[in-house]
Every structure is written in structure tokens, then in C-alpha cells.
Amino acid sequence: MMTLTTKQSILLGFLTTVLGSLIVWLMLGHPATGIDDADIFFVYARNFAEGHGFVYNVGGEAVEGFTSMLWTLLCAATDRLSLPLEITMYFLNVVFGTVTLVACMRRTNQPFLMLLLLIMAPAWFAWCQVTLMESGLWCMLVTLLALAVAEQRRNAVLVLLPLLVLTRPESMLWGAWLLVIYAMGNKRKTSILSIFVFITTILALISFRLWYFGYPVPNTYYAKVSANLFSNLINGVAYFGGYLTTSAFVIFALFLWGRVLKKGLSWKVAEFSSSTRIALCLLPGLGIPILVGGDHFGAARFYQPLWPLLCLLATKEGGEMLAHMEKRRVFSILGLLLILSWIIFPMTARLQHEFRISGEGRAKGVALEKMFQDQIYWPTVAVITAGGTKLTYSGTVLDLMGLNSTEMAHAAGGREGFKNHTAFNRNLFYEWSPDILLCGNSYEFDSLVLNGLHDESRFAALYSKSTLHRNGTALEAYYRNEFLMQIPRSDSNDVP
């Protein structure tokens, strides 16, 4: 048992975050980008930094097609400063990860055991650093706020609560529950002030959304809303089950979390220990993904930000149990779990294709840009994956999944099918009549999320799938027949 100095904790936390994320990056095929949803953040950030506002298409509607206002603003600041976006956002995630680990290590006299448990979850490094999503920021804020609530630190709570609200929509439930925990044994005036700050921040954010976007919550909610609560619960339970396979230690970590909670709840509220309060703070993080049905991403994205706190609790609770065991046996068990966790990660994560989608989308946007650079007007392009293509293409991109279109997100429909991809409305598609429809490499997936659009006689009469050659580049897609007849050849080698 030992206590590290602040400098030692920072160095150890930084090295752990960097090395862990780099190894995961290599295992995921060393992608040059984040995932496609990260590209959506970058699109809005670039447009906002350039003075166009929160828009997906320059000159288009104001739409909140992103889930984190704070992460978007950080991306916009990076773009405004002309810093390399991917590298800078990765570095920020490393900083967030380091701060998170330091905060946890400083609260245990077994920091090396805590880090050993943490690195048993490669998925934490994947989601909180490598994907370039807001997960690293969310993880840091949840960790710091839970610790502040558990330790009754008023100033930290007052600062962190508004940041949490600005980071993800579920912060409204998180914040309300954390304030309940904070009020246990706290002074009345302090609790009232925290509640006031929390409610004021929420009201200010909702008021801004209503004024700027016309809706109280992000457009992503309307695009992804599921058919019913029962369906959500079924998907959510399956999602939680998937989380149990992301690491060989996660089941033990949850068992130790439950053990801490059970022991703590046997005491009076005023006598709750810091560990009991932390365990209570984690309840929203464990329950919300089940209620909303999780998401379609691999490696249980919603659960990864909880991992540092789970490891902290496991270190405190498990350390007492391990102290009575032979050291050689302890090292053998933990070493085996560590190796097993990294072996199963590539098999259970299902993340490589998310990075491939981003790369392919960016490549298609570049091809479109070059293909139609000699035209006065850019053709309109409809997409299923909306990040990479829009990031590299200057023309209007229409999001068929509705994340970046209020019209599609609010269109009528049964909202049944592939998770988070059920907003497509074929009548609206024909009303839009895009010049080009880009699809992926899986006909089955495209047919599922587009409700069999390709098989309709009406679609076949209007669109043709072909490889168009123009300006030295080629792109396979569905092209509107009338559009093909109107575009001029750029040279004698262009063949439709």
C-alpha cells in the first residue's frame, strides 16, 4: 500500500491513458479518423466556427444534430484556432482521461491496483479517447462530480453541475439524482443553492434550444426515439448483457459495487461513507442505458464512462479481500483476467467498421467534390451515414436517418427496426428527390434502414445504380435518371 504524490499520479495517469489508447488504436487498425458520429460533431463545429451557426448544411436549417453542446463548442474552438482537429481532440481526451485517473488514484492507497483493474477494459480507452467522441469529457465530469457529491464539496458541485448539463441530455436525470445524494446530510442552504444552479442551467439551455432550434431537446432524440418502452427494456437488458462481455473483470467490478452498496445501506443516511455515496451516484449510469434501450454501437459506449469509479470502488472493496490471499495467487488471477480482457476485446468490441464508415464517407465526399467541381451548383446527396461525407463535400447533404434533419426526424413512421436507424420516411425521400443516393457495402443493411426502398418500382423508375466517371474520378451510387441526363461530360473518357 502506498500514496503517490500529485506529480507521480499525473505522470502515471498520463502514461496509462496514452499507452492504453495507442494500443487500442493499433488493435482497431490505426484509423486516421474518429468514428462517423465524431465527424458530425466536426461538421457543426466547423460551420459554427466559420460564422454559419449550428447548421449541418451551410445556409440550411438550424438543427441540433449533435448530442453534446459542450463537445461541439470545444471542437469549434479548435477549428477556430486552426489546430489539427483529430489530433487536438485526441489530446484533449487524453487530458480528460488523465484528470479522471488522477482523481481516482488520489483517493486510494492502492493506486497501482486501481490502474491494473482499469486497464482490464480496453473498451474504456476506445470510447473515451480513440473514437473522438464526447465520452472522455462525459467520463471526467461524471467522475469528478460523483466524487464531489460523495465528499460534500460545494464549490466543485456548483461548477461541475452546469458543465454536466451542457455535455449530454441524460444529465438532467443524472443531476437530479446526484443532488438527492448531495442533500443527504448536507446543509439546507447549500443544497438549495445547488438545486437552483442546476435548474437554472437546464432552463437556460432549453430556452436557448427553443429560441434557436425550435425544440426543447436535441434533434437526435426525435430521430432515435424507439417504438415503445417494452422494446427499449428488451434492448436495454441485451445491451447490459453485452457490457458484461467487454472485459473479463466487469462482472467482478459490478459485484463489488453491489457489495459496497449493500454494506453501506445498512447504515443510517447521515453515516454513509464516501464509498457508499459513490456507489449510489452510479445508479443512473447503470439504469439509464437499460431504460433507453442502449444504442447500436459495440463495446457498450454508455457504460464505459463509469469504469474509473467502478475500479475505484473495486480497489477499496476488493483490496480488503485480496489482502487475505497469497500474493502469488492474486497476481496470477489478476494477470489472467488482464490477458483475457485484451484477447476478447477485438472479438466483442465490433468497432472497426465504425472507423471504416468514417473513412469511406470522407472518401466519397472527396470524390463528389472533385467530380462536380466544374458545375455551378453542387448536386444534392442523400446519405445513411452522415458524418464523413458532409465533412468533405461542399454541397447539400440530406440525412435519411434524420439526425441532421428536423423534417425527417419528425416524420411519421412506426419507428421499428434497426436500433437508432428507424426515422426514414419514403414519402419525404421522394419529396426531397435527391440527385444522388449514397449507400454502404451491405445491401441487406441498406434495405433494412430504408424500408426496402431499392425494391420499389417507383424508385427503380427514378433512379439507376451505376458508377459515374467524371473529372478523373469515379463513384458508384444511385443516381436520379433526370440528373444523369442533365450533367455534361467533363471529358471524352467519362463513361456513366
Strand order in the sheet with 473-480: 397-399, 381-383, 436-437, 473-480, 463-470
pLDDT of residue 496: 47
CB-based contact 139:304 (threshold 8 Å): yes
pLDDT of residue 494: 52
**What span, in angstroms and rounded, lies between the C-alpha atoms of 388 and 79?**
16
**What span, in angstroms and rounded, lies between the C-alpha atoms of 402 and 215?**
15
Q: Is the pLDDT of residue 57 over 80?
A: yes
Mean of pLDDT values over 64-88: 97
Strand partners, 469: 474
Which tens digit of pLDDT belongs to each residue from 223-255? 887 767 788 899 999 999 999 999 999 999 999
pLDDT of residue 441: 77
* 284 SS3 class: helix
pLDDT of residue 59: 95
Other CB atoms within a 10 A radius of the CB of residue 259 amount to: 16
**What span, in angstroms and rounded, lies between the C-alpha atoms of 469 and 414?**
38
When pLDDT is cut at 50, 70 and 90, the band that residue 495 belongs to is very low
Which of 50-59, 171-180, 269-278, 377-386 is least confident? 269-278
Other CB atoms within a 10 A radius of the CB of residue 245 amount to: 17
Tell me 62's DSSP state.
B
pLDDT of residue 282: 97
Question: Among all chains, which residue has been given the C-alpha cell 470502488?
Answer: 313
Which tens digit of pLDDT belongs to each residue from 307-331? 999 999 999 988 767 666 777 787 8
**What span, in angstroms and rounded, lies between the C-alpha atoms of 137 and 135?**
5
DSSP labels, 402-452: STT-HHHHTS-----SSTT-----HHHHHHH--SEE---S-HHHHHHHTTT
pLDDT of residue 229: 77
pLDDT of residue 3: 76
Q: What is the pTM of this model?
A: 0.94
CB within 8 A of 151, min separation 6: which ones? 274
**What span, in angstroms and rounded, lies between the C-alpha atoms of 368 and 389?**
9
pLDDT of residue 415: 65
CB within 8 A of 262, min separation 6: which ones? none
pLDDT of residue 323: 66
Which of 194-203, 267-276, 280-289 is least confident? 267-276
Mean pLDDT across the chain, nearest whole number? 92
CB-based contact 231:239 (threshold 8 Å): no
